[in-house]
Amino acid sequence: MIEFDTMGDAREFLIERQVSKLLYESIDGWDKWLKRAGGGLSMTDLPVDWPVVREGFARRNLIVHADGIVNHLYLGSLKGVQGPLKGGHQVGDKLNVDEEYLSGFLQEISALGRMLAVSVGLKLRKNDRLSFFRSLNSDTYRSLTSGHWRTTITLSQYAMTCDLPRAFRVEAQTRGWVARRELFGVDSIKSEVESWDVSGLAEELAHRKSVLLGSADSIDRVRNVIKSEKLTPFDVAVDPLYAHIRSEFLGISSPTDESLGRGSPELS
């Protein structure tokens, strides 16, 4: 009762809480269900931006059930959330969803869904773990080539906590670095990549260090990997890892639908 200014506010909150039980379940309720049904799995243990996810679900419920008008349930769901998500909103304010907000939330929820699928699969179907690792690897690559940098970073972080085969681990790590490079700049990954020990790795994987750092020998190394048929011009055309040197091989800054429709571009 101390949290409310008037008895009317307290009464309104209790009414809203009861309505919520009838209309929709909270994200916390879903997490409790997951813990029971998934043998202790929890969404909050996954490396997703949990405040963003929590606020996004709360805003979704607010828009669907209350026309986007801030109420006590929405504010209550943000208890403990700090920073810009708090927003200084008050009961009665109108919340909207712009393109930037929607993109950020969708990238987080996309990563959460994919991590949940793999986590549940690894727990319930241990003999199929390699299939789930392949799925995670494919999901991370699709996110990267779609320019969903935050999804890629999150999936990469999650993958690095799994007991991956070495090649998959290198894929996950380098894709996370590429996404961070595109989102925050090369300086954000420079020290990590420079300290990356690639001794013992096949050149088809080891050359990525030079490409990530933009080293002087990166173009020659990529050309040699292509000649060894461990990499194709098409890979260079579509993988953001090679975005900054792509023109050296294709004569264009990025692949177009027309060029992709003709098959793999030829080396210049």
Question: Is the pLDDT higher at 88 or at 186?
Answer: 186
| pLDDT of 82 | 59
- What's the pLDDT tens digit per position in 3-41? 667 777 777 877 777 556 545 566 777 788 788 777 788
> First-to-last CA distance in the chain?
73
Interval 112-127 mean pLDDT: 92
Q: How many CB atoms lie within 10 A of CB 61?
A: 20
| pLDDT of 34 | 80
Interval 76-98 mean pLDDT: 76
| pLDDT of 8 | 78
| pLDDT of 253 | 41
| pLDDT of 197 | 96
| pLDDT of 107 | 95
Closest by Cα among 205, 134, 244 to 196: 205
pLDDT tops 50 at residue 49? yes
Closest by Cα among 219, 221, 227, 229 to 249: 219
pLDDT tops 50 at residue 119? yes
pLDDT tops 60 at residue 267? no
What sign does the CA torsion over 42, 46, 51, 52 have? negative
- What's the pLDDT tens digit per position in 206-230? 999 999 999 999 999 999 999 999 9
pTM for the whole structure: 0.78
pLDDT tops 70 at residue 256? no
Q: How many CB atoms lie within 10 A of CB 233?
A: 19
* Sequence-separated (6 or more) residues with CB below 8 Å from residue 99: none
Question: Is the pLDDT higher at 9 or at 113?
Answer: 113
pLDDT tops 50 at residue 268? no
| pLDDT of 262 | 33
Yes or no: say if 225 and 207 are a contact pair by the CB < 8 Å rule: yes
Q: Which runs of consecutive H residues, i.e. helices, occur in the chain? A: 7-23, 27-37, 50-66, 72-77, 99-124, 129-145, 149-159, 166-184, 190-194, 203-213, 218-227, 233-238, 247-250, 257-261
